[in-house]
């Protein structure tokens, strides 16, 4: 992939924005258990961060995917995983289906404000009894005239408290309809019958609002259906590819920063009469990780290039996300270990990174789901 | 209102800094917009907006034809740029720099020239005043606020105790202190628009400027590391610590 002067400039803008507008506030947001999504997104929307690849008709920049790579990597340099995850939900998890398959009216009403950062979006797929097995979801939308009547529960929903609308996956066909009986529906959270039943307390990503959502006879127009009714599962599977790619781009930025900071610490910290960085075991171990992160970075670039050529990136995105999840755990563990006692302290960045990094192997399809997909793609059957 | 902003492109302060054998700073590879200059760019954009029109022109000098820092300022909203690049310029002293920049400014019609008080790599701090002298302009320095009223310019000139109000006639040159406004971020749209904005590259000969042998009147004879910080003094409070702190501050002449 070829980065131009414009990519360089955009990288600089995002990096400055992260350093000045996000990082100084992360500690307070972590303590509050929430970051001000509307306030922050409005500023990001003004700078064009939230609709890079979207149609200018809806406020997007009409740019190619390579700028999403830059945005993802640079947001990874936030002091914690919460904000990059929330932005990723807005740009690459909750809105791609709407942009791809939604009607003009639906895009004007919900995509354009999301691109401007005036509306916060969330993706609602997971349920108490359906996580990795997406086809097992039970939240139902029954048609009543021109309306869907929705009942059910969604769990672990990022941006769940602050979201103005959800990209909601529900069953619209009979129980037996399996993969062909689901639909994606734009669900405004101001709808009667909708409530946030719980704000969830998590190991990490503590500045991110994750919620359990409840739907009781909540009515939305059938016109809110994204694309074709009954195609929801298939559309969501495509949307998952964007989710996995952005997760892998974020992870590279997070790991770059973590390794830079650990190397800087080892240069400064002395033990046995010399800086720790002079210790061969420590330096070689970090060099190994630097190499692995670089391999993932360039694997991501290959994935992005294939995506830009219009190819199916299921295999690329699956491998990148699997590797990102495993590698970031290794990096987080090593960074904490090499900091010693101070690394275990909450006041040191390593503690938050250690907690936040863990989600990469679970969200957006767990490692085991990635392996399941890969096994199938590699001819081992379903 | 037409405004010329002097901008310098410098090596990224976040990266390692190296010196050449003649003690000048190595300026290879990508250069960025000096943060000191981003305030002047922002002020110029605000003045243009409140005047309801005009052009903001960037004038810069770079030894290696680098334009990245200029692109940043164009992406913020400046209209065009003149870059003087010449093999004779690396290591140029302040007066040479001032003559070259004054020559480039002379190519434009302007009401106001804005520069930073000093660059954040060289910290020489005399170039704006030299340019004002060369162009025969009133020089208003250390501005933290600028107001334009017809053909009159008023600034708040930062001093140790507060600020002075200083007035001059346009056209004039103003140097602005760092941190006085919040420079806008270049938006994605701005970055893409900057690609198509005019960026004229000229040489010293194009400007018809004679420079006093590029480094003729200035020489850096030696460079030393900043002295290591000495250990501080710890004062244990036995009930009279305040007296010793007052005495210390008095000795440092900060009281």
Parallel/antiparallel/unpaired status of strands B9-11 and B3-6: unpaired
Does residue A54 sit at the B interface (CB-CB below 8 Å)?
Answer: no
Domain A234-377 falls under CATH 3.40.190.10: no
For residue A347, the distance in angstroms to the closest alpha carbon of chain B comes to 24
The secondary structure of B175-221 as a DSSP string is: EE-TTSS-PPPPPHHHHHHHTTS-EEEE-HHHHT---STTTTT----
- Per-residue pLDDT tens for A204-230? 999 999 999 999 999 999 999 999 999
- Per-residue pLDDT tens for A125-161? 999 989 888 888 999 999 999 999 999 999 999 999 9
Mean pLDDT of B218-230: 81
Token reading at A378: 């590699």
SS3 A373: helix
Answer whether B71 sits within 8 Å of A49, measured CB to CB: no
B146, B155 contact by CB (below 8 A): yes
For residue A83, the distance in angstroms to the closest alpha carbon of chain B comes to 19
Q: Given 2.40.50.140, 2.40.50.180, 2.40.110.10, 3.10.105.10, which CATH number is that of A122-230? A: 2.40.110.10
DSSP β-bridge partners for residue A210: A158
Token reading at B210: 């004679």
Span A5-120: which CATH code?
A: 1.10.540.10
Length of chain B: 255
Does residue A9 sit at the B interface (CB-CB below 8 Å)?
Answer: yes
Cα torsion B28, B31, B37, B41: sign: positive
Residue A41, C-beta contacts closer than 8 angstroms, at least 6 positions apart: A50, A87, A90, A117, A118, A120
Answer whether B191 sits within 8 Å of A52, measured CB to CB: no
Q: Strand (E) positions, chain A? A: 121-124, 140-144, 147-158, 165-171, 182-188, 194-199, 210-221, 225-226, 270-271, 274-275
Answer whether A9 sits within 8 Å of B189, measured CB to CB: no
- Per-residue pLDDT tens for A80-115? 999 999 999 999 999 999 999 999 999 999 999 999
Token reading at B127: 């170039």
Domain that residue B159 falls in: 3-251
A293, A255 contact by CB (below 8 A): yes
Tell me how many degrees the CA angle A19-A20-A25 measures, rounded to the nearest 5: 90
Answer whether B189 sits within 8 Å of A48, measured CB to CB: yes
Tally of domains within chain B: 1
Nearest CA in chain A to B74: A9
Answer whether A12 sits within 8 Å of B72, measured CB to CB: yes
Residue B12 vs residues A55, B18, B25, B61, B199: alpha-carbon distances, Å: 35, 11, 12, 17, 22
**Above pLDDT 70, what percent of chain A?**
100
Cα–Cα distance for residue pair B171/B4, rounded to 1 Å: 11
Does position A291 have pLDDT exceeding 80, yes or no? yes
Interface test with B, best of A4, A15, A43, A47 (most B CBs within 10 A): A47
Answer whether B185 sits within 8 Å of A47, measured CB to CB: yes
Does position B212 have pLDDT exceeding 80, yes or no? no
Rounded to 5 degrees, φ, ψ at B219 are -145, 135
pTM over 0.90: yes
For residue A341, the distance in angstroms to the closest alpha carbon of chain B comes to 26
As annotated, the active-site residues of A are 243
For residue A42, the distance in angstroms to the closest alpha carbon of chain B comes to 13
Residue B186 vs residues A57, A109, B65, B194: alpha-carbon distances, Å: 22, 27, 22, 10
A82, A205 contact by CB (below 8 A): yes
**Above pLDDT 70, what percent of chain B?**
98
Does position A40 have pLDDT exceeding 90, yes or no? yes
Does residue B189 sit at the A interface (CB-CB below 8 Å)?
Answer: yes
- 3-state helix, strand and coil shares in percent for chain A, rounded to the nearest 5: 60, 15, 25
Token reading at A287: 């060099």
**Looking at residue B237, what is its pLDDT?**
86
Tell me how many degrees the CA angle A117-A121-A124 measures, rounded to the nearest 5: 170
Chain B stretch 48-107, residues whose beta carbon is closer than 8 A to a beta carbon of chain A: 67-68, 71-72, 75
Answer whether A10 sits within 8 Å of B185, measured CB to CB: no
SS3 B113: strand
Cα–Cα distance for residue pair B104/B59, rounded to 1 Å: 7
Nearest CA in chain B to A11: B188
Q: Can you tell me which residue has the tokens 């491998």?
A: A319
What CATH number does the domain containing B53 carry?
Answer: 3.40.50.620
Domain ranges, ordered by start, for chain A: 5-120, 122-230, 234-377
Length of chain A: 382
Given pLDDT bands bounded at 50, 70 and 90, which one contains residue B216? low
Does residue A267 sit at the B interface (CB-CB below 8 Å)?
Answer: no
């Amino acid at each position: 992939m070829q980065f131009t002067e414009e990519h360089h400039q955009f990288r600089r803008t995002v990096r400055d924005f992260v350093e000045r507008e996000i990082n100084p506030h992360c500690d307070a947001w972590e303590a509050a258990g929430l970051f001000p999504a509307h306030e922050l997104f409005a500023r990001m929307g003004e700078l064009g961060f939230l609709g890079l690849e979207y149609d200018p008709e809806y406020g997007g920049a009409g740019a190619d995917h390579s700028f999403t790579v830059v945005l993802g990597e640079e947001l990874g340099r936030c002091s914690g995983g919460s904000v990059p995850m929330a932005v990723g939900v807005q740009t690459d998890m909750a809105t791609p289906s709407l942009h791809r398959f939604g009607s003009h009216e639906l895009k004007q009403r919900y995509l354009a404000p999301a691109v401007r950062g005036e509306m916060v979006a969330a993706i609602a797929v997971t349920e108490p009894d359906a996580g990795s097995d997406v086809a097992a979801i039970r939240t139902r939308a029954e048609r009543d005239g021109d309306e869907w009547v929705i009942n059910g529960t969604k769990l672990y929903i990022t941006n769940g408290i602050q979201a103005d609308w959800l990209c909601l996956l529900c069953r619209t066909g009979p129980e037996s309809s399996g993969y062909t009986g689901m639909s994606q529906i734009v669900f405004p959270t101001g709808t009667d019958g909708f409530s946030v039943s719980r704000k969830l307390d998590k190991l990490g990503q503590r500045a991110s609002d994750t919620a359990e959502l409840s739907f009781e006879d909540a009515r939305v127009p059938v016109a809110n259906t994204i694309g074709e009714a009954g195609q929801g599962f298939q559309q969501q599977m495509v949307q998952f590819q964007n989710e996995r790619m952005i997760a892998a781009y974020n992870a590279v930025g997070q790991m770059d920063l973590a390794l830079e900071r650990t190397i800087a610490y080892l240069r400064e910290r002395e033990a046995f009469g010399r800086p720790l960085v002079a210790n061969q075991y420590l330096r070689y171990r970090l060099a190994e990780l630097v190499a692995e992160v670089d391999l993932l970075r360039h694997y991501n670039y290959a994935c992005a290039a294939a995506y830009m050529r219009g190819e199916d990136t299921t295999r690329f995105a699956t491998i990148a996300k699997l590797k990102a999840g495993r590698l970031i755990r290794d990096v987080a563990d090593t960074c904490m270990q090499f900091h010693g006692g101070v690394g275990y302290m909450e006041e040191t960045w390593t503690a938050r990174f250690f907690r936040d990094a863990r989600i990469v192997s679970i969200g957006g399809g767990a490692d085991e789901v990635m392996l399941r997909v890969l096994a199938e793609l590699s001819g081992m059957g379903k | 209102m037409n405004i010329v902003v002097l901008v310098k492109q410098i090596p990224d302060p976040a990266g390692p800094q190296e010196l050449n054998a003649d003690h000048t700073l190595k300026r290879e590879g990508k250069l960025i917009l000096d943060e000191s200059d981003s305030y002047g760019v922002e002020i110029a954009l605000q003045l243009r907006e409140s005047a309801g029109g005009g052009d903001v022109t960037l004038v810069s000098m770079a030894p290696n034809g680098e334009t990245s820092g200029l692109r940043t300022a164009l992406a913020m909203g400046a209209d065009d740029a003149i870059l003087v690049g010449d093999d004779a310029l690396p290591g140029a002293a302040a007066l040479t720099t001032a003559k070259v920049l004054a020559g480039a400014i002379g190519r434009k019609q302007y009401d106001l020239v804005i520069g930073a008080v000093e660059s954040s790599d060289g910290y020489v701090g005399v170039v704006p005043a030299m340019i004002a002298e060369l162009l025969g302009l009133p020089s208003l320095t250390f501005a933290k606020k600028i107001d334009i009223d017809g053909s009159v310019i008023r600034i708040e000139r930062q001093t140790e105790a507060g600020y002075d109000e200083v007035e001059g006639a346009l056209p004039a040159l103003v140097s602005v202190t760092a941190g006085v406004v919040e420079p806008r971020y270049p938006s994605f749209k701005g970055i893409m628009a900057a690609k198509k904005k005019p960026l004229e590259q000229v040489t010293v000969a194009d400007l018809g400027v004679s420079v006093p042998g590029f480094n003729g009147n200035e020489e850096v004879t030696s460079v030393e590391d900043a002295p290591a910080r000495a250990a501080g003094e710890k004062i244990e409070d036995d009930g009279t610590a305040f007296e010793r702190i007052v005495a210390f501050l008095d000795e440092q002449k900060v009281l």
